[in-house]
Chains A and B, each alone.
Chain A
Amino acid sequence: MRVYIIKRLIEAVGVCLVISMISFFLLFLNTDPALLLLPPEAEVSDIALFKKQMGLDRPVVVQYVDFLGKAVLKGDFGDSFVAKVPAMRLIRERFPATLKLAVAAFIFINLVAIPVGIIAAIRRYSLMDNLSTFSALVGQAMPLYWFGIMLIIIFGVWLKWLPISGSDSLAHLILPAITLGSWIIPVNMRLVRSGMLDVLTQDYIRTARAKGLVENKVLYKHAFKNAAIPLVTVMGMQFGLLLGGAVVTETVFAWPGLGRLAVESIRMGDYPVVQAIVVIFAMCVVLGNLAADILAALIDPRIRLD
């Protein structure tokens, strides 16, 4: 078990490292910070001097190692070119908003997906079941941003039930959370359903029923726990989807979070910020996977025999 965790940890670190490398080089190729920071009238010699001062004329690898050192040890990703403040500060400012959104979406997803999935499995071919399959199909094809815009139009403009932008109150959170969640609900629902189905047809469930256990107890104690395994694994992977979806959702709803920061920064070539966001996103995704894998291994001893 310990071996398993160590192996996965090393892999996780490796992945983060490679990602930071790739994004560093990508951005290095793309943007020339000297041109961004200096006024347009700057002379070529000024530019060269500036580069020398900032250490931008050193070989790429050296710059990368320097960056890595500062980032890992001090959390210093450099200053944003646009806002002229440390990149980390910007991120810290915007992080809570995204977190709020992600948590809300997460709650929403599981509040809907798990019960519906279970019911769909128990009453196969019922209305619930067909509804869930149908919505899974629809959800897969639905562009997230369009769904958000549609929600805005219907609930915000026509019906005027909910506010559409800004992030002040809880009410503001509803539409974005629903939008973000809608992307992931179909997948989860199907997983819960198929997991439950798998388990429900097993012999040990029939045994439990034959023993005379109350149906609810049967369902919860025996069935759900086993069905939870694939769900837990996927929950970890959802991190990536949530983060990715957050980028879009925040853009649509003008939500002041990391996602919107990412889009704007990329558009403006503000590479310290982009770099920081990419690495943090990657870390979250990797950690999420790791946590899910470990959790799954804890629940299901078979996985440990990796």
Chain B
Amino acid sequence: MKWIPEMAQIKRNGKQKLNMGETEERKLLRLILRKMWHLRLGVLGGFVLFILVVTALFTPFLAPGDPYKQDIAKRLLPPSWMEKGDSRHLLGTDHLGRDLLTRIMYGSRISLTVGLSAVFVEVALGVLLGLLAGFHGGKTDSVISFIVNVKMAFPFILLAMSLVAVLGPSLENIIIALGLTGWPVFARVTRIETMKLREREFVLAAKSLAFSTTRILVRHILPNLIPSILVLATVEVARAIIRESLLSFLGLGIQPPTPSWGTMLAEGRDYMLLQWWLATFPGMAIFLAALGINLWGDALRDLTDPHLRKS
């Protein structure tokens, strides 16, 4: 609410009636709606995100079937609107007769879980290192920056694949692998922001008030970093989802029969000549999820920092 400057004013005026009988509350509503229109893409993205989250949370209640139930008699059925389609399998079935729609819905759980957890790891690691590098500067900075450079020279794929190959492809290990590969971007941003902040006078004031470095970092610098990190984290979730599906697609991620969108894509690839739907819909799910999150993240960034140029 702080983000819309007019809000503070309106909150204070409360329920005073203006001329023409329009209350402050009505004005507030108009303001919100206007803002939402300006950011309509973001609202759309948010809506998609909302669907994603709801689907992931309530899958057992929403999904039409069982993601693991095989029915060889009904294998490779096309989507229900095509001929030979079955109305009970809206998007068709895969090579083992499992309902595609159900599997896609269950896949959302995996994607969301992995995405959020991986970003959590990335943020924890990246922000910590960035804070230390930015605040202390000097040698600490050189060392950490060097590590960041090394990490960024590694193409993600190779590193992640190697990690998973070493650790074994389980859900936790994938999260770890993704987390360990994605943190540099947070470290970089945190470092720069911290370096800018540590020269601000309120940090100097905190130092002169004899607060410990930890306290300064946590109570003074970190809260001012949160807007940028939050926006970055949102976009990173989308990237993590794509990366997880990439690993699964290459066979180094979630193993079948667990329904990860990436695994489904890999399975579908074998049948793409004739049964195109097996590869199309899971991929579309990934795409839409990532797109929605990105749109919402962009809108979030516009909200919290209207000074950022739209590029």
A and B touch in the complex (CB under 8 A): yes
Closest B residue by C-beta to A262: B158
From A15, A141, A150, A278, contact of B280 by CB (8 A): A150
Q: Is the CB of A149 within 8 A of B265?
A: yes
From B155, B280, B290, B294, contact of A243 by CB (8 A): B155
A68 interface residue per 8 A CB criterion? no
Q: Is the CB of B245 within 8 A of A157?
A: no
Q: Is the CB of B154 within 8 A of A247?
A: no
Q: Is the CB of A153 within 8 A of B155?
A: no
Measured between beta carbons, the chain B residues less than 8 angstroms from A248 are 157, 246, 249-250
B272 interface residue per 8 A CB criterion? yes
Given A137-B291, A137-B294, A143-B283, do A278 and B146 touch, yes or no (CB 8 Å)?
no
Instruction: Provide the bound-state CA to CA distance between A18 and B146, in Å.
Output: 10
B170 interface residue per 8 A CB criterion? no
Q: Which secondary structure characterizes the binding site on chain B?
A: helix
Given A137-B295, A143-B287, A267-B252, do A277 and B158 touch, yes or no (CB 8 Å)?
yes
Q: Is the CB of A157 within 8 A of B276?
A: yes
Given A248-B157, A252-B269, do A266 and B294 touch, yes or no (CB 8 Å)?
no
Q: Is the CB of B238 within 8 A of A141?
A: yes
Measured between beta carbons, the chain A residues less than 8 angstroms from B165 are 30, 266-267, 269
Stretch at the interface among A96-104, A281-289, A296-304: A281-289
Q: Is the CB of A141 within 8 A of B155?
A: no
In the complex, how many residues of chain B place their beta carbon closer than 8 angstroms to a beta carbon of chain A? 43
Q: Is the CB of B162 within 8 A of A26?
A: yes
Interface string of B244-286 (1 = CB under 8 A from A): 0110011110000000000001001100110010011001101
Task: Tell me, rounded to whole Å, the shortest Cβ–Cβ distance linking A181 to chain B.
Answer: 17
Given A142-B287, A149-B272, do A267 and B251 touch, yes or no (CB 8 Å)?
yes
A155 interface residue per 8 A CB criterion? no
Interface string of A1-43 (1 = CB under 8 A from B): 0000000000100111011001100110110000000000000
B1 interface residue per 8 A CB criterion? no
Chain A 64-119 interface residues, beta-carbon cutoff 8 Å to B: none
Q: Is the CB of A244 within 8 A of B155?
A: yes
A194 interface residue per 8 A CB criterion? yes
Instruction: Provide the bound-state CA to CA distance between A145 and B284, in Å.
Output: 11
Q: Is the CB of B153 within 8 A of A143?
A: no
Instruction: Provide the bound-state CA to CA distance between A146 and B162, in Å.
Output: 23
Q: Is the CB of A146 within 8 A of B286?
A: yes
Closest B residue by C-beta to A259: B157
Instruction: Provide the bound-state CA to CA distance between A211 and B295, in Å.
Output: 43
In the complex, how many residues of chain A place their beta carbon closer than 8 angstroms to a beta carbon of chain B? 51
Task: Tell me, rounded to whole Å, the shortest Cβ–Cβ distance linking B46 to chain A.
Answer: 15
Measured between beta carbons, the chain B residues less than 8 angstroms from A152 are 272
From B155, B251, B309, contact of A240 by CB (8 A): B155
From B158, B265, B269, B311, contact of A190 by CB (8 A): B311
Interface string of B295-311 (1 = CB under 8 A from A): 10010000000000101
Q: Is the CB of A157 within 8 A of B250?
A: no
Q: Is the CB of A145 within 8 A of B153?
A: no
B16 interface residue per 8 A CB criterion? no
B166 interface residue per 8 A CB criterion? yes
Instruction: Provide the bound-state CA to CA distance between A102 and B284, in Å.
Output: 26
Q: Is the CB of A14 within 8 A of B146?
A: yes
Closest B residue by C-beta to A282: B153
B242 interface residue per 8 A CB criterion? yes
From A19, A29, A153, contact of B154 by CB (8 A): A19
A251 interface residue per 8 A CB criterion? yes
Closest A residue by C-beta to B273: A157
Instruction: Provide the bound-state CA to CA distance between A286 and B272, in Å.
Output: 37
Instruction: Provide the bound-state CA to CA distance between A146 and B283, in Å.
Output: 5
B112 interface residue per 8 A CB criterion? no
Instruction: Provide the bound-state CA to CA distance between A190 and B311, in Å.
Output: 7
B120 interface residue per 8 A CB criterion? no
Instruction: Provide the bound-state CA to CA distance between A19 and B252, in Å.
Output: 21
Interface string of B62-94 (1 = CB under 8 A from A): 000000000000000000000000000000000
B161 interface residue per 8 A CB criterion? yes
A140 interface residue per 8 A CB criterion? yes
A199 interface residue per 8 A CB criterion? no
Q: Is the CB of B153 within 8 A of A153?
A: no
B205 interface residue per 8 A CB criterion? no
Instruction: Provide the bound-state CA to CA distance between A286 and B276, in Å.
Output: 40
B20 interface residue per 8 A CB criterion? no
B23 interface residue per 8 A CB criterion? no
Measured between beta carbons, the chain A residues less than 8 angstroms from B276 are 153, 157
Q: Is the CB of A145 within 8 A of B272?
A: no
A274 interface residue per 8 A CB criterion? yes
Measured between beta carbons, the chain B residues less than 8 angstroms from A194 are 309, 311
Instruction: Provide the bound-state CA to CA distance between A278 and B150, in Å.
Output: 13
Instruction: Provide the bound-state CA to CA distance between A157 and B269, in Å.
Output: 13
Q: Is the CB of A263 within 8 A of B161?
A: yes
Instruction: Provide the bound-state CA to CA distance between A19 and B273, in Å.
Output: 40
Task: Tell me, rounded to whole Å, the shortest Cβ–Cβ distance linking A51 to chain B.
Answer: 20
Q: Is the CB of B290 within 8 A of A153?
A: no
List 5 additional contacts besides A143-B283, A143-B286, A145-B265; criterion CB under 8 Å: A19-B153, A29-B166, A30-B165, A244-B155, A266-B165
Instruction: Please name 12 pairs of A and B residues whose Cβ atoms are closer than 8 Å in the assembled complex, sorted by A.
Output: A30-B162, A30-B165, A146-B279, A149-B268, A149-B283, A153-B279, A190-B311, A248-B246, A248-B249, A266-B165, A267-B251, A285-B153
The 5 closest A-B pairs by CB, nearest first: A146-B283, A141-B290, A244-B155, A141-B291, A30-B166
